[in-house]
Chains A and B, each alone.
Chain A
């Protein structure tokens, strides 16, 4: 019996770097081929024999900057996958030709970095596309994919969150909406409400999907499944060890891993579970009856016979809830 595994491939190249993004990225596009050589060697070096690859995710950076030929080189090294295969794309580098190539290579899901439907916001974020280009890219993707996701950013000071227009919503199945944060930790006062049609279910604190279109790859991260990351700065969880590659794009190497103690596993499970619509198994919580009762009284969590689940109000203060429960 082969173990399930998810594969992440990091493509760190961008036409321009965005201030809010903390993934490894660079603008030296002439290094792409060299990088691909390095990453292919890394992938070939990994023994997939005991694994069944369930999902593949090409993230960045901007994977859509790769030409179909470059992408083909990469896919030749990747193991076969019978499940969800996602690529991230930027509106200004997505074309019909590329979409067709993605389908040919087995990619069945696309995630477009729209970020906003407000032109001023796009400008201030330093994005290279405008609203029309974003909508055109979605239209293009929609022709080739029945599983389209977009990324949006909210809670940007002085920039109102603009809900995707209805015609856009009709073409997509999944939306990730990230609150802009300082130092990864949301304490900014802004907290804009998100109003999406009811068929977009908030299955994770920042993610909304139509039924059956939840990101299977991301769910692996959030439910403690095993994954291997290739490329600069990529993270992995394998054999109960979390490890990552260093950030130097052409010379990166795997950093030593850390074995998770049962306590770390438990605390991670609580943190991740609280973010999910499915919640946290109550048997992970020890002697927390008083805290659970208090949180419930304040309407921050609700209980099912087996789980505790953060309410809408609770999702805003998940850190505080976590601190109470561990």
Chain B
């Protein structure tokens, strides 16, 4: 156990986490250079494209240091606020964390929040300054910043270039010298943290675990403490990064357990795995993760409902935090109400549905979960505006609130204050972290930040500000349901729950936006926004004046047909709402109001 080091790498996005991981794998000979695919740990295409890691992939590396062979377990962590809980469980599997800071950028929002997360999990932090190959690198300034802003010593922090492989050996040396070895007792009953899982077609759910006490081997009966389910172990092993079975995992090890678990839904991230015969006390920190953002997902072609269902089920195999239930919309037909951890999560899932499953889908306005109190004393949870009781039956609403943190250079404080206040944010306080950085704390309704808040924050701070948020309970709010009528008919898929104070303004903006999005049709299309029975805004999409192929002579009919074919392909991306054709992106576009 003395020669095991369990660690993770935390960083702000783009500071070089995956690149350093690649270098470590390469230098320890875990992956031969010729097999290196850039940023090996980010194995999903989508992740690689976005340069962010979503899925955790623990990898065992062997490194010979001063004549002794050490086992280094690298646990990669996702870097987005949507996945904070998953990050925290991964951190709990480690004794130490490498904190990468970009030598040109310094400490950023995510650096801070991840560093604090690591400190909260009692991890030993090893700062590393990356990208020293860049001309703008300022290692000494960043050293000072790490010490002042985060408050950890950085004098010994290796200055590296992960890209070029400079000084990576110093990182390895410090991992061994400075990070603590795991403690624990392999003679105690099994106590393992389930920090992630994924689905394998042959093995079912594969649990990624960190053993704190005891041992586990094939044939053992194990028990999950949170779900109280028992399984028999069919395989144990570790990743190199290939899945490699072994005979036994002992206290201190990081690896995987398979136990004929059919789906990932049967297990909970953060759960404690123990022996069925001799159960231990649960590990601290387990939390049930609940989706916070909900949206309706519908196939553009009504007959693809079955395919969409299959696709969601397949995605769920690998993503226990994805939740969905059947939903029908009079406008869109059969579909699903899907719950996500956040907007990035939602974007990833919808993009995967389109790319990997080749489905054309419509995503309706993301909504949060409201608590609705009715006059007759009932309390309802509503995340789909169509499911609201009638306005007269509603006593009052409660909406979810988050504690929002924004880090920004001082010159953007004003703009960010305006932004948050316009979104019904309530200012809590402001902390000057140093000359260049201020932390703004707000309480803000979750539904005000679910859509484009992040983009707006970036644009009004020229990209310098960053944010993080966490749930902060529910609060009574004056909300109303706003309906959109197309050609005189309510389109339920476009209904929204909005704050009374902005209802008029939103209704007007929405009608205007729809007017721009809905293409001209063969006839005039009136667009109306209504609250209760009252029309608050009206716009009209004028009828098409002309849409006809030019001359059809010279006998080239094929070309004309091709043009029509193109137009027809465009139509397929349209959804009929009554007599009105709406491009599927309209449903997302209108949220940018």
Residues on A close to B: CB < 8 A? Answer: 8, 23, 59, 155, 176, 178-181, 183-191, 204-206, 218, 221-222, 227, 229, 234-237, 242, 244, 258, 264, 267-268, 271-272, 275, 294-295, 298, 300, 315-323, 326
Chain B, 282-302, CB within 8 A of any chain A CB: none
Contact partner of A184 (CB less than 8 A), chosen from B522, B544, B560, B579, is B560
Task: Give B570's nearest chain A residue, CB to CB.
Answer: A323
Tell me, in angstroms, the Cα distance from A8 to B554 when the chains sit together: 8
Residues in A neighbouring B564, C-beta threshold 8 A: 267, 271, 319, 322-323
Tell me, in angstroms, the Cα distance from A204 to B552 when the chains sit together: 10
Tell me, in angstroms, the Cα distance from A1 to B566 when the chains sit together: 41
Could you say which of A183, A267, A294, A316 has the most chain B C-beta atoms within 10 Å of its C-beta? A316
Task: Give B562's nearest chain A residue, CB to CB.
Answer: A184
Q: What are 21 sample pairs from A and B whose C-beta atoms fall under 8 A apart?
A: A23-B554, A59-B554, A179-B548, A180-B550, A185-B549, A186-B547, A186-B548, A186-B549, A187-B546, A218-B553, A229-B555, A235-B555, A235-B557, A235-B558, A237-B555, A271-B560, A271-B564, A298-B523, A318-B547, A319-B547, A326-B568
Taking chain A's interface residues, is the majority helix, strand, or loop, or is none over half, making it mixed? mixed
Residues in A neighbouring B568, C-beta threshold 8 A: 323, 326
Residues in B neighbouring A317, C-beta threshold 8 A: 522, 544, 546-548
Establish whether residues A321 and B555, one from each chain, have CB atoms under 8 Å apart when the complex forms. no
Task: Give B571's nearest chain A residue, CB to CB.
Answer: A323
Establish whether residues A316 and B563, one from each chain, have CB atoms under 8 Å apart when the complex forms. no
Asked if B559 CB lies within 8 Å of chain A CBs, one says yes
Contact digits for B563-585, partner A, Cβ 8 Å, 1 yes 0 no? 11001100100000001000000
- Number of chain B residues close to chain A: CB under 8 A: 27
Contact digits for B512-550, partner A, Cβ 8 Å, 1 yes 0 no? 000000000111000000000000000000001111111
**Smallest beta-carbon distance B317→chain A, Å:** 39
Asked if B551 CB lies within 8 Å of chain A CBs, one says yes
Tell me, in angstroms, the Cα distance from A185 to B548 when the chains sit together: 7
Asked if B561 CB lies within 8 Å of chain A CBs, one says yes
Could you say which of B547, B548, B549, B550 has the most chain A C-beta atoms within 10 Å of its C-beta? B548
A-B interface contact total, Cβ < 8 Å = 114
Residues in B neighbouring A155, C-beta threshold 8 A: 546
Tell me, in angstroms, the Cα distance from A9 to B471 when the chains sit together: 76
Establish whether residues B545 and A316, one from each chain, have CB atoms under 8 Å apart when the complex forms. yes
Establish whether residues A271 and B547, one from each chain, have CB atoms under 8 Å apart when the complex forms. no
Establish whether residues A185 and B556, one from each chain, have CB atoms under 8 Å apart when the complex forms. no
Contact partner of B547 (CB less than 8 A), chosen from A176, A178, A187, A264, is A187
Tell me, in angstroms, the Cα distance from A294 to B560 when the chains sit together: 25
Establish whether residues A186 and B557, one from each chain, have CB atoms under 8 Å apart when the complex forms. no
Residues in B neighbouring A316, C-beta threshold 8 A: 544-548
Establish whether residues A178 and B551, one from each chain, have CB atoms under 8 Å apart when the complex forms. yes
Residues in B neighbouring A242, C-beta threshold 8 A: 557-558
Contact partner of B567 (CB less than 8 A), chosen from A180, A185, A227, is A185
Could you say which of B544, B547, B551 has the most chain A C-beta atoms within 10 Å of its C-beta? B551
Establish whether residues A181 and B579, one from each chain, have CB atoms under 8 Å apart when the complex forms. no
Establish whether residues A181 and B550, one from each chain, have CB atoms under 8 Å apart when the complex forms. yes
Establish whether residues A318 and B567, one from each chain, have CB atoms under 8 Å apart when the complex forms. no
Q: A186-B547, A295-B522, A317-B522 are in contact. Are A264 and B561 (CB under 8 A)?
A: yes
Establish whether residues B522 and A258, one from each chain, have CB atoms under 8 Å apart when the complex forms. no
Establish whether residues B552 and A272, one from each chain, have CB atoms under 8 Å apart when the complex forms. yes
**Smallest beta-carbon distance B274→chain A, Å:** 63
Task: Give B523's nearest chain A residue, CB to CB.
Answer: A298
Task: Give A183's nearest chain B residue, CB to CB.
Answer: B563
Establish whether residues B546 and A191, one from each chain, have CB atoms under 8 Å apart when the complex forms. yes
Establish whether residues A221 and B557, one from each chain, have CB atoms under 8 Å apart when the complex forms. yes
Could you say which of A191, A237, A298, A320 has the most chain B C-beta atoms within 10 Å of its C-beta? A320
Tell me, in angstroms, the Cα distance from A59 to B554 when the chains sit together: 8
Tell me, in angstroms, the Cα distance from A323 to B547 when the chains sit together: 11
Establish whether residues A184 and B559, one from each chain, have CB atoms under 8 Å apart when the complex forms. yes
Residues in A neighbouring B560, C-beta threshold 8 A: 184, 271
**Smallest beta-carbon distance B431→chain A, Å:** 55
Q: A300-B522, A319-B549 are in contact. Are A237 and B557 (CB under 8 A)?
A: yes
Tell me, in angstroms, the Cα distance from A319 to B546 when the chains sit together: 9
Establish whether residues A320 and B547, one from each chain, have CB atoms under 8 Å apart when the complex forms. yes
Since A155-B546, A323-B571 are in contact, a sample of 8 more A-B pairs with Cβ atoms closer than 8 Å, ordered by chain A residue number, is A23-B554, A183-B563, A185-B550, A186-B550, A221-B555, A221-B557, A235-B558, A317-B544
The 3 A-B residue pairs whose C-beta atoms are closest, nearest first, are A235-B555, A181-B550, A318-B548
